Structure formats: structure tokens, C-alpha cells
Structure 1
Amino acid sequence: MGIRSILSKPFAKYIINQQNQWAANPIPTQEKILANITQKAAHTAFGKDHRFKDVGNYQEFKEAVPVGDYEALRAYVDRVKTGEPDVLWPGLPAYFAKTSGTTSGTKYIPITKDSIPNHINSARNALLNYVYHSGNSQFLDGNLIFLSGSPIMTQTNGIHTGRLSGIVNHHVPGYLRSNQMPSYETNCIEDWEAKVDQIVQETYQENMTLISGIPPWVQMYFDRLTAKTGKAIKDLFPNFSLFVYGGVNFEPYKAKLFESIGKTIDSVETYPASEGFIAHQDTLDQEGLLLLLNSGIFFEFIPTDEYFDEQPTRLSIGEVKTGVNYALILNSNAGLWGYSIGDTVKFVSTSPYRLVVTGRIKHFISAFGEHVIGQEVEKAIKAAVLEQPETEITELTVAPQVTPDTGLPRHQWFVEFGQLPKDFERFANTIDQNLRKLNVYYDDLIVGNILQRLEIVPLRKDAFIQYMKSQGKLGGQNKVPRLSNDRKIADQLIRLKL
């Protein structure tokens, strides 16, 4: 064993002891976070506008700070972009994480000196939790790869600006620098396909032990490795033992990814966002991700069925229940206040607080009042794959077909298969039946002959890659929305059907 793997075990024990302390005291931990961030921001422009000096508890905070998305904070962010200090957080942010939004165009998310540890330490702690519970630390002695965006920064009035993954790349701990791949020069390649090809060239003969990235783009890397060498990943990288992922549900990609590897390996799920690192897997056998209550973020939750109400219920951590869908709201030492991140979550445990991501508050299908969410789609297709395990899903998205040429309206599922199911009709029926069990409104529409059974549209190989490339969103942290309430994506994909 190398020095990294040896030292990681006592360090992991130390971190887990700290983690257990705050996880056992969730309400005081969050109350302390709220007091700290409001006090520190009391003399900022936002703090003065919202009377932070008079905020002494959560109820007073709710009365002072409204909930909103990026547009609600845009006027303040625009002031920060001009170089004005003390607007959302004391001083100027260390970075802007530049990200493309579906409704707000390009977003500039501040990352401050105080919030950087949230991103860096949380990623580190996800790995240390795995080391602690599995006993496996040898992967730290091999080569580690993080498939991410370019680390090249631009300047916005003196504020370094770039993709989150590129920003984080500048803060990889020194003890991991020597075995981090790809090279800095390769990581700076902007064209994703050219970048993946160069990563393949740099890594195919190396001792890769950890690979991290969003599953569809890791799959692309694996496909190109196999195309170049004719070998399964386990034969190229016999010591590859840990896959780290985040950003999407792993289930639809799992079978094909493990087939490419040639064996099943351990995986660690994370929940990072430009707005903050929210949760990570903390066990090997429990459902859900540990919500990071002691990392500079005060969390709020709005029941999703109230989200669009004029006065929705806002809840702190001590008020949430398991099994309820909530919209996630952040208040943080990055200077985000009442910020609706756009994700919906559901708690599976409150001791400690573990959650699963169930979808996007604006990514659903309700063209007929059914309000189908991402979690329901993924559970339904998982059931169909379990029934016909030869089936491999590369990627999928779902949209309504309101005005079909023939028959009743329906949901269209655009699916790129790695391997088609043997019985296609049965596969579609299984999905439909499970979706009806999961969503009573969808079932009512089928029973009432408002909708007909869903339609699966199989797409040709690399259809989603072609689509994302056409949108300038190939690779990096970009993801295909699982659901749409319109036909913008569907009308592009229909041209790529088998």
C-alpha cells in the first residue's frame, strides 16, 4: 500500500466522527449556519435591503427573504458582475461559475472564499466515507480521472469565471495532483469529442483506479477506449475499483456501463451543483444521500404541490417528513438567498437526513394534468429492464404528443438502446403499467380515454450525442432533461429515430 492509501484511513475515521456529531444534531447545526451567514451578510446590499440585522430566527428570516430563482437575484448578481463589492456577500466572490439555464440563459453563480470548502471538502469526504465503510483505499495510489469541463478561466471585472468543474480542478488537493488525469493541456480542450479522444490516448495504458464523471459521458469514454483497443475496461484497467458519479440517476445507465467495464464495481453517488455541494453517499448499503447540514448552506424545503402557490409553505430541516416531494431552497455563504435551485427531493430517512433527487421543479409532464415526474419515469423503466434484463438503455427523454396524426394523445419516450428488449411490445406495456401504478392522475387519463398507452420511439446510435452537439452542450456537466412539457427536444430527436 502507498502512503496515500495508508494515511487515508485514520483521516477518514476523523472526518466520519465529525460528520456523526453534526448529523446527530441536525436542527442546532442548521440554526447555527443560518445565524452565521445572516450575521456575516448583514452589511451587504442584500442584507441591508432585507433587514438581516433584525433576523434572529428562521421565522424572521422567512418574513425578510422571499423565495425566487436566478431571475429574482439577477439584479444583485449584475451589480457584482460590474465589480461592486459587498452586494450578496462581503467583498467580491472568488469565482463565477458560469452555467446555462433553461429559462435564464447564461447564469453567473457566485463562489466565495467562504463557500469553496463546501465544494472541495464535500467531494473529498464522499471518498473518505467510502474508504471508511469499505476498507478499500488502494484506489488512491493509482491514477484518478475526473471527466470535467475546461479549467480555463475568463475574467468578469476581475472575477475569475468558468465552469464549476473547471474551477474545482484548480483546487484539487496537492496530494492527488501527481496521480490526477488527464493532463492540464488535455483538460483545456474545448471540443468534447477531441478531448475524449485525447484522454483515451493519454490513459489507455495507465493504471486507472478511480473514474469520475456524469454517466453518459463516461460511457462515451469507455466506448472509445474499447474501440481503440478492442478490450473491455476491466482488461485495460484491472485495478479500476471505484466509479464516482453525480448529476443524474445512475440506474438507466448502470447495466450498459457495467457491461462495458466487464464486471460490477463499487460506486459513490454525489450531489454537486454550481450553487453548492448538497449531499453525498455516506454508506454502502443505505438508500439516499446524506444532506450536508454543516457546510455553509441553510436549507429550506417547499412541498412541490405548493411551489407555484402565492404563499407556499417553507420548512426547515426539522419540519420535513419522509416520502414527500420538496423543492429545494438554498441560503449560503456564497451569497445565495431564498434560492430555488430547481431540483425536487424526497427524504428517505430523517435519522440521519438522507434524500434522493426526484426531478426538476420545471421538468415534468403535465400537458393533461398528470404531473409525471422524473422519479416515476425512472422507476417505470427500471421495472421494464428488470423484466427483460438483456435490455440496455443508453439515454432517454420523455415528452407529450398532444396532436398525433392518428389516435389519442400520448406520452412519447425517446430511447436510445444499447441493446433492444426481445419483446418490444411487452417492454412498452410494462413501463406503462408501472407508470399508472406510480401516478394516479396518469392512470385516470388512460382509463378515461384521454390518453392512450405511451409510445416508445427507439433512436439510432449516438442520437443524444448528436442532439447535444447540435445544442453546443456536448460533454462536461451538461445533461439531457429527463422530461419536457413541450416538444422542443422531441421535435429534434424524432429525426433521429431508427
Structure 2
Amino acid sequence: MGLKAKIAQIFAQIISKSEKKWIENPIEFQTKIFHNLISVGTETKFGKDHHFEKIQSYEDFKKQVPIRDYEDLKPYIELIKEGKSDIIWEGKPIYFAKTSGTTSGTKYIPITKESMPSHIKSARNALLNYMLEKKTADFVEGKMIFLQGSPELEQKNGINIGRLSGIVAHFVPKYLQKNRMPTWETNCIEDWETKVDKVVEETLPENMTLISGIPPWLVNYFEKLIEKSGKKTIKEIFPNLQLMVTGGVNYNPYREKMIELIGEDLDVIQTYPASEGFIAYQDSIQANDLLLLLNNGIFYEFIPVNEFFDENPTRISLKDVELDKDYVLILNTNAGLWGYNIGDTVRFTNLKPYRIVVSGRIKHYTSAFGEHVIAHEVEQAMKSTAQKFQIQVSEFTVAPQVNPNEGLPYHEWLIEFVKEPENLEEFAEELDQNLQKLNSYYQDLIDGNMLRTLVVSSVKPNGFNEYMKSQGKLGGQNKVPRLTNDRKIADGFFELNLIKS
């Protein structure tokens, strides 16, 4: 074991001991964070507008602060962009993280001097936790790739603006700089295909031990490496590759494809970073759920998914959550986000400690007929069906067909297969049965002759990448939603002739 690895192991033990304090006292730490947030927020414009001086408890808070999304917060953000201080948090943010919103255009998410450290330490702690579990830190001796958005930042009224991953690139510890790839110049390339080609060129001859990225990007990167090298698997190219770190989307639908490309079931750490805060990470490679981070300056709230669109939905704090129930995740943060709907849904898999899986997006669902099918359900249905038919799926998305040329309406599944089933109709029937088992509303609509069973449309190879390229969203953190409530994306595939005839 090298010197870096030995030091990392010692540091991991120190951090683990410190983290146990909040893990073992979750409600106490959440309560403390709540009162700290209110104390600071009282002196801001937002706090004065919402009478924070009257807030003594969480029940008071719910009366004063409604749930909001970015559009509701935007007037406050515009004031900050104009150079105003003490708007939603004391002073001004040190960064705005730019994200692409589906309805709001470009969003500017504030990052403050108080919130920035949690983005860095959480990613670090995920790796340290892995070192403790595996009793090794050898990967720190080799090359590590963190493909990120461009680290080049613009500035407006004293606030740096860029993609979150590009901002984080400025905080890579000095002791890892020599190990880090790709080069700064390559990371600054904006065109995704050009960037990936350059990354392949730079990394191919290196001793890669850790690779980090969102699953669709990793698949793309691995396929290009194999094509360029003439090898059959990634392990042949990088025999010392030990660990993958993923985030952005659920890794499980990509697992079989990854195993095939890599040549083995490599250790994986799943993370849940967002511009709004680092929310969770996988604290054991033996499980697929994530440890909810309760000492990161975030006070969490939860709304049951089946009540979210009601006029007065139930709104609870951590102490009242239940297992195996889907909740819309609401954040209150030390970057000045209050009652903020991040758009994700989560499901608790454990309450001691609190662990979650991300079950989907509240804006990404199909409910054209009242069925409210969510991502977790379609992914589970696909997983079960693919296993039974022994096939692999690269990507898929689901959209309603409300006005078919003939017959009843239906759900259309656009699927890019790695290996297509021999009988697509039988596959579709099994997929439909699995979805009915997971969603009783959908089953009722089928049984009541309101919907016909789903239809599968097979997407041409590389079709999802071609679609994203046509939208100017190839690469980075961009991905096609698992579900939509309209035909915009589905029709785009047909217009681009990406569906097999």
C-alpha cells in the first residue's frame, strides 16, 4: 500500500467516527438545522416576506412558507442577479449553478459559502466510506477520471456562474491533481462528442483505477474505448480499475450493460448530488440504497406522491416518514432555498439509519388517464421483463397515446434494445402484466376497457443519443426522461426516423 493510500485509510477512520454522531441522532440534528436555518433566514427579504419572526416550530413554518418550485423562487433570484444582498440568505451566493430546466429554461441555483463545503465533503466521504468497507485505498495511487462540465466560469455582479460539476472541479484536493483526468483543457471542451473522443485518447494508455460519471455517459465512454482499443472489455484495457462512482440517474437499469462492457461486476458507489445540495450516497456496496445525509445544512420535508397535486397535501418532516412509500422531496437549505420542490421522488428503504432510493421525478410521470405511473414502476416492470426474456435494454421512455388512429388509447414504450426479444408481442404482454402488478390504477383502466395494453416501439441503435443530439443536449447531465405526460419526445423520435419500421 502506497503512502497516499495509508494516509487515506487513517483519514477515513477519523471521518467515520465523526459521521456516526448525526447518523445515530438524526432527528436531533435535523431539528438543530431547522432552527439554525430559521435564525439566519429571519434577517433576509424572504424571511421578512414570510414572517419568519413568528416561526417557533415546524408547524409554524408550514403555515408561513408554501411549497414552491423554481418559477416561484425566480423573482428572488432575479434580485440576487441584479446584485442585491440578503435576499434569500445572508449576503450573496458565491456561485450560481446553471441547470437546464424543462419548463423554466436555464435555472440559476444559489450556492453559498455555507453550502459549498457539503458538496465537496459528501463526495469525499462517499469514497472514504468505501475505503473503510473494503479495507483498501489502493485506487488513490492510480489515475482517476472525473468528467465534468466545463470548469470555465462567467461572472455577474460578483457571483461566479457555471455548471455544478464545473464549479466542483475547482475544489479537487491538490494531492489528487496529479492523478486526475482528463486534462483541464479537455474538460473545457463544450462539444460532447469531441470531448469524449479526446477523453478516450488521453485515458487509453493510463492506469485508470477510478472512473466517475452518470451511467449513460459511462456507457458511451466505455463503448468508444472498446472500439478504439480493439479490446473486448474495459477490464482488458484497465486491468487495475477498481471503482465506479455514478450519480444523476438510477444505476440499476444500466447494471447488466455495464457488467457486459466492463467484463465483471465492478464495485459501484451511487451518489445523489444536486445543484441544490448533496443529498445522499451509497454507504455500502452490498446494498443499492443511499444514506440520506442529515447534517449537510438541509432540512428535509416530504409529501406523499399520491397527494402532491391535492389542494392541501400532507407535509411531513423526517420523523414521520414511512417505509416503502413514495414521497416528493422538499428542501430547505443554507443556500436560501425554502419549501423548495427539487422535483424528485424518494422511497425510504430503512429508518435506522435513514436510507432511500430515488424513485423518479414528480414532473416525469404518465397520468394522461389518471393512472399516475412513476419511474420506479416502469423501471421495475422493465427489469422483471428483461430478466425473464434474457434480453438487454439500452434506454427507454414511456409516453401516452391519447388519440390513436384506431382502438383504445395506450401507453407507448420507446425502447432501444441491446438484444431484442425474438417475439416483441410476447415481451410487450409480459411488460404490461408487470406494470399492472405495480400500479393498481393502471390495472383498473385496463380491466375497465379504458386503455388497451401497452405498445412497444423499437428504437434504432444509438437512437437515444441521436435524439439528444438533435435537441442540443447530448452529454453532460442531460438524459431523456423515463416518462412524459405528452407526446413531444415520442413524436420527436418518429419525426427523426429513429423508430424501426
TM-score under structure 2 normalisation?
Answer: 0.97
Report the 3-state secondary structure (helix = DSSP H, G, I; strand = E; otherwise coil) of the residue aligned with 2:130.
helix
Is the CA contact 1:271–1:277 (under 8 Å) kept in the aligned structure 2? yes
Give 5+ residue unaligned stretches, structure 2: none
- Deviations 1:434-492 (Å, cap 9, x if unpaired)? 10100111111112222122111111111111111111111111121110000000001
Counterpart residue type for residue 267 of structure 1: V
- Deviations 1:132-171 (Å, cap 9, x if unpaired)? 1122311111111112211111112221101111011111
From 484, 495, 498, the counterpart of 1:496: 498
Is the CA contact 1:147–1:218 (under 8 Å) kept in the aligned structure 2? no
Counterpart residue type for residue 115 of structure 1: S
Report the 3-state secondary structure (helix = DSSP H, G, I; strand = E; otherwise coil) of the residue aligned with 2:122.
helix
Aligned length: 497
The CA distance in 2 between the partners of 1:72 and 1:398, in whole Å, is 29
Counterpart residue type for residue 195 of structure 1: K
The CA distance in 2 between the partners of 1:88 and 1:3, in whole Å, is 45
Cross-structure match for 1:268: 269
Is the CA contact 1:145–1:182 (under 8 Å) kept in the aligned structure 2? yes
Q: Once the 2 structures are TM-superposed, how far is the Cα of residue 4 of structure 1 from its aligned partner? A: 2.1
Cross-structure match for 2:167: 167
The CA distance in 2 between the partners of 1:402 and 1:57, in whole Å, is 46
The CA distance in 1 between the partners of 2:380 and 2:212, in whole Å, is 24
Cross-structure match for 1:96: 96
Cross-structure match for 2:180: 180
Counterpart residue type for residue 344 of structure 1: T
List structure 1 segments (4+ residues) > 6 angstroms apart after TM superposition: none
Q: Once the 2 structures are TM-superposed, how far is the Cα of residue 406 of structure 1 from its aligned partner? A: 3.0
The CA distance in 2 between the partners of 1:2 and 1:118, in whole Å, is 28
Report the 3-state secondary structure (helix = DSSP H, G, I; strand = E; otherwise coil) of the residue aligned with 1:496.
coil
- Deviations 1:338-370 (Å, cap 9, x if unpaired)? 100011111111111111111111111111111
- Deviations 1:271-305 (Å, cap 9, x if unpaired)? 11111111111112234211100011000011112
Cross-structure match for 2:4: 4
The CA distance in 2 between the partners of 1:285 and 1:261, in whole Å, is 19
How high is the sequence identity, in percent, across the aligned residues?
Answer: 57
The range that moved more, 222-231 or 413-422, is 413-422
The CA distance in 2 between the partners of 1:256 and 1:113, in whole Å, is 40
Cross-structure match for 1:333: 334
The CA distance in 2 between the partners of 1:215 and 1:417, in whole Å, is 16
Q: Does 1:79 align with 2:79?
A: yes
Report the 3-state secondary structure (helix = DSSP H, G, I; strand = E; otherwise coil) of the residue aligned with 2:467.
helix
User: Counterparts of 1:415-426 in structure 2 under 5 Å?
Assistant: 415-426=415-426
Is the CA contact 1:297–1:333 (under 8 Å) kept in the aligned structure 2? yes
Q: Once the 2 structures are TM-superposed, how far is the Cα of residue 429 of structure 1 from its aligned partner? A: 2.0
Q: Once the 2 structures are TM-superposed, how far is the Cα of residue 39 of structure 1 from its aligned partner? A: 1.1
Counterpart residue type for residue 279 of structure 2: I
The CA distance in 2 between the partners of 1:176 and 1:130, in whole Å, is 17
Report the 3-state secondary structure (helix = DSSP H, G, I; strand = E; otherwise coil) of the residue aligned with 1:444.
helix
Q: Once the 2 structures are TM-superposed, how far is the Cα of residue 53 of structure 1 from its aligned partner? A: 3.1
Cross-structure match for 2:365: 364
Give 5+ residue unaligned stretches, structure 1: none
Is the CA contact 2:374–2:483 (under 8 Å) kept in the aligned structure 1? yes
User: Counterparts of 1:41-190 in structure 2 under 5 Å?
Assistant: 41-190=41-190
The CA distance in 2 between the partners of 1:441 and 1:312, in whole Å, is 20
- Deviations 1:374-405 (Å, cap 9, x if unpaired)? 0000000100121123x221111110111222
Is the CA contact 2:143–2:180 (under 8 Å) kept in the aligned structure 1? yes
Cross-structure match for 1:277: 278
Aligned residues: CA RMSD: 1.2
Cross-structure match for 2:350: 349
The CA distance in 1 between the partners of 2:317 and 2:183, in whole Å, is 43
Is the CA contact 1:165–1:477 (under 8 Å) kept in the aligned structure 2? no
Cross-structure match for 1:431: 431
Cross-structure match for 1:28: 28
The CA distance in 2 between the partners of 1:275 and 1:419, in whole Å, is 38
User: Counterparts of 1:375-390 in structure 2 under 5 Å?
Assistant: 375-389=376-390
Q: Does 1:312 align with 2:313?
A: yes
Counterpart residue type for residue 343 of structure 1: D
Is the CA contact 1:98–1:109 (under 8 Å) kept in the aligned structure 2? yes
- Deviations 1:193-237 (Å, cap 9, x if unpaired)? 000000001000001111111111111111111111111211110
Cross-structure match for 2:295: 294
